[in-house]
Chains A and B, each alone.
Chain A
Amino acid sequence: MAAQALFLAPVVRAVTSEEDTARALGGDMVAWNALIAKYNRRVVVALLARGVPIERAKDVAQDSWLRLIEQQRAGNLRELKLPALAVTQAIFLSIDAARRDSRERATHDDEAEHVVDPCPGADLRMMSEERFAIADRVLSKCAPSARKVFELAYGGEGLSHADVATRVGLSTQRVRQIVCEVRKLLRVALEGGDR
């Protein structure tokens, strides 16, 4: 598949995501490759979280990028909110593929009437309100600076540790430590330790 050609070797480029997004919307493939290199992991992880096997998740992620590029070339892409748009695209593709597989199995097997869709609703969130409350208690105990670092690393576009370090004026190593500590606290709380 031509998707392999989308993934260039990482190049050090002094441009922001906003600039890459604007260029990608203008059809610049270098910018597209930079965005793919930056956000593809988030897309794959979102699929893995929904139970999609690893190889399939990687294929679907590539397909979703190709679809986005096709839409841009066709003039159907007015804005590009990443990684959310790519994640949504990938989830719909995986649901579509799962339903297609189910139909194919059903035609070959009369007993396959109760096929379970491995990808239920596209708007399924990982977090219930109860778990949000638990996480909020954990974050409220963190130092404001640590909370800010966590938000930059995981929220919105999800900056790299190096980008977060530049934004908050800390070393990359320190940012990595903080993210690791907050993640550990949240993990313990969300997996049942703070209930």
Chain B
Amino acid sequence: MTGEHLVSSALEAYVAGELDAEMSAVVESHVAVCSACATRLTGEAQLEVAFAEVADRSVAQRERVSTRRSSFAAGVAIAMAASVMLFLAPRGHADETVSPATAPSIAFERPTLVEADASTASAQLDRSGDAAMKLGRD
């Protein structure tokens, strides 16, 4: 520390909570009477709060990517399972009469399942977005 003003590392350490009680008291008593250092302390505190906001945003981003990936993986798994079912499903004779409710069911199940999953994923993403906003505001 200089005779007139606090060094930047002291202010940085103060807002980061890295000073012991004695050194914290020195910083506090100085900024109480030195407007220049008080202004610099405000700047350090703003940076510290910004770091917390950056970290919250980073966590939210990673969780969003993770949700998207798991939704995509689930979609692929369902599509593959449906393909296998389609391949293994017993086929009727060409002249056999089938009801409309049974014959196209497998063909239509695939897109329906994938579509439902996509909407779920989108809903999850929306919720993640809300969480990120809340975190950001906090």
Contacts and interface: CB of A to CB of B under 8 A. Distances in A.
Contacts of A151: 55, 58-59, 62
Given A54-B31, A156-B56, 11 more contacts: A42-B52, A45-B48, A55-B32, A125-B136, A131-B50, A135-B54, A151-B62, A154-B51, A154-B52, A155-B56, A186-B51
A158 interface: yes
Interface of A: 41-42, 45-46, 48-49, 51, 53-55, 58, 81, 84, 87-88, 123, 125-127, 131-132, 135-136, 139, 147, 150-151, 153-156, 158, 183, 186-187, 190-191
Contacts of A139: 54, 58
Interface stretch (B37-45, B68-76, B105-113): B37-45
Contacts of B137: 123, 125
B28 A54 contact: yes
A58 B48 CA distance: 17
Interface in B2-40: 15-17, 28, 31-32, 38
A123 B53 CA distance: 12
A155 B32 contact: no
A135 B55 CA distance: 9
A45 B49 contact: yes
Contacts of A132: 53-54, 57
Q: How large is the interface on B (under 10, 10 to 19, 20 to 34, 35 or more residues)?
A: 20 to 34
Contacts of A88: 138
7 contacts: A45-B49, A46-B49, A49-B49, A84-B138, A88-B138, A154-B55, A191-B47
Nearest to A179: B16
B42 A48 contact: yes
A125 B47 CA distance: 11
Contacts of B38: 53-54
Given A87-B138, A126-B46, A54 B41 contact: yes
Nearest to B29: A54
B59 A156 contact: yes
Given A49-B45, A54-B28, A155-B59, A127 B54 contact: yes
A45 B53 contact: no
Contacts of B31: 54
A88 B138 CA distance: 7
Contacts of A46: 45, 49
A136 B59 contact: no
Contacts of A135: 50, 54, 57
Contacts of B135: 156
Find the residue from B28, B41, B50, B62 having the highest chain A CB count within 10 A: B50
A147 B31 CA distance: 33
